[in-house]
Chains A and B, each alone.
Chain A
Amino acid sequence: AAGVIQSPRHLIKEKRETATLKCYPIPRHDTVYWYQQGPGQDPQFLISFYEKMQSDKGSIPDRFSAQQFSDYHSELNMSSLELGDSALYFCASSPLTSGGAKNIQYFGAGTRLSVL
Chain B
Amino acid sequence: DQQVKQNSPSLSVQEGRISILNCDYTNSMFDYFLWYKKYPAEGPTFLISISSIKDKNEDGRFTVFLNKSAKHLSLHIVPSQPGDSAVYFCAASADAGGTSYGKLTFGQGTILTVHP
Residues of A66-116 contacting chain B, CB below 8 A = 90, 92, 94, 96, 100, 102-110, 112
Residue of B nearest to A40 (CB): B108
Q: Which residues of B contact A21 (CB under 8 A)?
A: none
By the criterion CB–CB under 8 Å, are A109 and B46 in contact?
no
B93 contact from A6, A50, A103, Cβ within 8 A: A103
A58 contacts partner chain B, Cβ-Cβ < 8 Å = yes
A110 contact from B32, B43, B107, Cβ within 8 A: B43
By the criterion CB–CB under 8 Å, are B43 and A105 in contact?
no
Q: How many residues of A are in contact with the other chain, CB < 8 A? A: 31
In the bound assembly, the distance between CA atoms of A6 and B42 in angstroms comes to 11
Q: Which residues of B contact A94 (CB under 8 A)?
A: 101
In the bound assembly, the distance between CA atoms of A43 and B106 in angstroms comes to 6
Q: Given that A43-B106, A100-B51, A104-B34 are known contacts, is A55 also in contact with B100, CB under 8 Å in the complex? A: yes
Given A4-B43, A45-B104, A55-B96, 13 further pairs, Cβ under 8 A = A35-B104, A42-B107, A42-B108, A42-B109, A50-B101, A56-B103, A96-B99, A96-B101, A103-B104, A106-B46, A107-B46, A109-B42, A110-B42
